A and B are shown apart, each in its own frame.
Chain A
C-alpha cells in the first residue's frame, strides 16, 4: 500500500509541472491550430535564463520566475509576429508550414544555446533541492511541492484571466471560431501574438520550477515537447482545465507505469494513452467535463 501511495504522490507532484507545460501548448494549439514543435526549446531558453541569473547574480530560481516569464513572453510574441504570422499569408500546398517553422526555430534555439553554453550539463543547487518531509512513511519532496503549488496558482490566475478579462475572452473566442471572432472586431493577429507569448511564459515558469530539481543542457527540450502534446490531446484542445487534469493524469500514469510495468516503459505509457485518447476519445477529457 505504501508503495502505491508513494507512487501516486510522485505522479501527482510531477503532474503539476507537466500541467504548466501542457497549458501553454493547449493555448497555442487551440488558438492557432498548430503544433508548436519548439515548445520544449522555449522551456530550455527559460531554464538557461534561470541558470544565468542564479550563477551570476545568485538569484533564487523562484525569483527568476519574474524575469524569465516576461522575457519568454516577449520572445514568444516576436516569434509569432515575425516568423509564424507571415506564413499565414504565404500560399502553400500544405497547411503544416507553420509547424515546420517551429521545427526550424527549435533547431536554431538549441544550437544558439549550445554555442553560448556548450553542451555541458548545468544545474542550480539550492539548499532545498533535495529537502523532503515525511507524512507517515510517505516522502514529499519540498521543491516538488512548491512547484506543484505555484503551478496551481498560475493556472488559477490564467483561468481568471481567460474568463474575466476582455483580452481573455477574445482569446477564447478566437480559439473557438477564428472567423467569427474576426467579424466581431477582434484583431486575430494580435490575439495570436499574445497567445503565443502567454504560452511561452507558462512553459518558462515550468522551466524555472524544474531548475532546482532538474538539470539543463541544450537538447533538453525535445522530450518535454512530446509530453506537452500528450497532455494537450489528453485534456482536449484549447481546454485549460483539461490540460491541468491531463498533466496530472500523465504524471500518475507514468509513475504507475514505472512502478508496476517497468521503468523502461514509463515513456511508452504516456504515448499509448495518447494514441488511445486520440482514437477513442477525440476531444480528450474536455468531452467528459464540458469545460
Chain B
C-alpha cells in the first residue's frame, strides 16, 4: 500500500509537470527568438554580460519599430553551463515555445549540444561565442557563426611576429580550457611554420593564486616572447608575478580578451604597461557604433564590456536584420536570409561564407592592441593603428625598478 501510494504520487507529480508545461504561449504580434546562455554556474559572468547586451540591443530594435512592425521577443534561457541542460533548453524552445530561430551559445560543450538539436529540428542557430572549430566544420547547415573559430584568434599576431618582433624562442602559457588549449596548439603550429622554437608550452587550471613556479621556469628558459592565453584575473596575476620575478622577454603577448579589459589594467597596474594582446574586438576599433555601445553599456550597467558583449549585441542586430529580410518565418526562408546576410555591426562586417573546412562562418578579423601610458591603443595592423607600436621595451624601467 505504502509503495503503491508513493508510485501514484510520483505519477501525479509527473502529470502535473506535463500539464503545467503545456500552456500555449504564442502571443500574437511578436516574433520569438530563443537565446541560450549560462546565467548561473561558473560561466555566469559572461552569460550575464551577453544577456545584458542582448537586452540592450532588443530594446533599441523594438524602439525603432521592431521587425517590420512586429515586436521582437527574446526568450533568454539559462543553460547553467551544462550540455544536458543546454539540450533541454533547446528542445523546450523549439518544441514548446516554437521559436523561429536560436541565438547565443556560450561554452563550446553547450553550443555543440544546442547545435545538434537545432540541426536535427532544422531550426537556424546563430552562434555568437562558442569558439571550437568543430561547431562550423561538422557540416551542419543550420548552424551559423558570428565569431571566428579559436584557431584563427592569433592571426593578427602572425604578421606582427614575422614583420616586427622576429622571435627565435617562444614560451606559451594557457588556461586549461578548450579555448586555451586549442589556441595554444594553433599558436604552436604557427611557431613551427616560421621556425620559432617553442621552449615551453604549459596549461594551468584557471583560478590559481600563485603562478610563480611556472614563471620561474619560463625565466630560466629565457624566451624571446611569452604568449599567454588567459582570462582577465589570471592575466593580471601572471603579469604582476612576472614583474615581481623581473621576468623580461622581448615581448609579452596576450592571446585573448583577458589582456584587453580595463579590469586587467586596474588589477595589474604598472605590470600591464606595454603588454600587447590579440583581440577580436575592442571599443577603439573603427566600427560604427562600437564606442557608443561601450559607453551605453558602461553607463547602464556600471561595468566594462568586452568582446563577449559585443558579439551578443551584434548577434541581436544580425537576428533582427535577418528577420526583417526573410520572406516568411519558415525555417528554410530564415536560413536563406541568414546566408544572404551582409551587414555592418559594432563587431565589424558580418557575412557568412564557407572557407576551408568551415561552413557558414563569419570571417571576423583579429587585431593587436597595446597598453601605452595606461591606455589601450590599436597598434596592428599598422594601417589602422591609433598609435605606433612601442617596441623594443625596457621592462625594468617600465615597471619602475
Q: Which residues of A contact B (CB under 8 A)?
A: 2-3, 6-7, 10-11, 14, 17, 111, 114, 118-121, 123, 125, 129-130, 132, 139, 141, 210, 213-215, 217, 219-220, 223, 254-259, 262-264, 266-267
A139: chain B residues within 8 A (beta carbon): 212, 244-246
Check B240–A130 contact: CB distance below 8 A.
Answer: yes
Secondary structure dominating the interface of B: helix
A3 to B269, CA, bound (A): 26
| Residue ID in chain A nearest B270 by CB atoms | A130
| Residue ID in chain A nearest B181 by CB atoms | A264
What 8 pairs between A and B have smallest CB-CB spacing?
A: A258-B213, A119-B44, A132-B244, A119-B45, A263-B204, A10-B212, A259-B213, A130-B240
- A263 and B41 contact, Cβ closer than 8 Å, known pairs A3-B220, A129-B240, A214-B209: no
B 258-271 binary contact with A (CB < 8 Å = 1; else 0): 00000100111111
Check A264–B45 contact: CB distance below 8 A.
Answer: no
Check A266–B48 contact: CB distance below 8 A.
Answer: no
- A6 and B266 contact, Cβ closer than 8 Å, known pairs A119-B45, A258-B214, A266-B208: no
A215: chain B residues within 8 A (beta carbon): 233, 236, 267
Check A266–B220 contact: CB distance below 8 A.
Answer: no
Check B209–A213 contact: CB distance below 8 A.
Answer: yes
Check A264–B176 contact: CB distance below 8 A.
Answer: yes
Check B45–A120 contact: CB distance below 8 A.
Answer: yes
A266: chain B residues within 8 A (beta carbon): 204-205, 208, 213
B282 to chain A, nearest CB (A): 19
- A10 and B267 contact, Cβ closer than 8 Å, known pairs A119-B45, A119-B48, A219-B42: no
A258: chain B residues within 8 A (beta carbon): 204, 213-214
Q: Which residues of B contact A (CB under 8 A)?
A: 40-42, 44-45, 47-48, 173, 176, 202-205, 207-214, 216-217, 220, 232-233, 236-237, 240-241, 243-246, 263, 266-271, 303
A164 to chain B, nearest CB (A): 34
- A121 and B45 contact, Cβ closer than 8 Å, known pairs A6-B245, A130-B240, A259-B217: yes
Check A10–B210 contact: CB distance below 8 A.
Answer: yes
A266 to B241, CA, bound (A): 17
A223 to B206, CA, bound (A): 11
Other than the given A129-B269, A214-B237, 9 more pairs (CB < 8 A) read: A7-B216, A118-B45, A121-B45, A121-B263, A123-B236, A125-B269, A139-B246, A254-B213, A262-B203
- A141 and B216 contact, Cβ closer than 8 Å, known pairs A14-B210, A114-B40, A217-B45: no
A263: chain B residues within 8 A (beta carbon): 173, 202-204, 211, 213-214
A213 to B236, CA, bound (A): 10
- A3 and B266 contact, Cβ closer than 8 Å, known pairs A114-B40, A120-B303, A262-B202: no
- Select B204's contact among A10, A17, A223, A264, beta carbons within 8 Å: A264
- A259 and B232 contact, Cβ closer than 8 Å, known pairs A129-B240, A266-B204: no
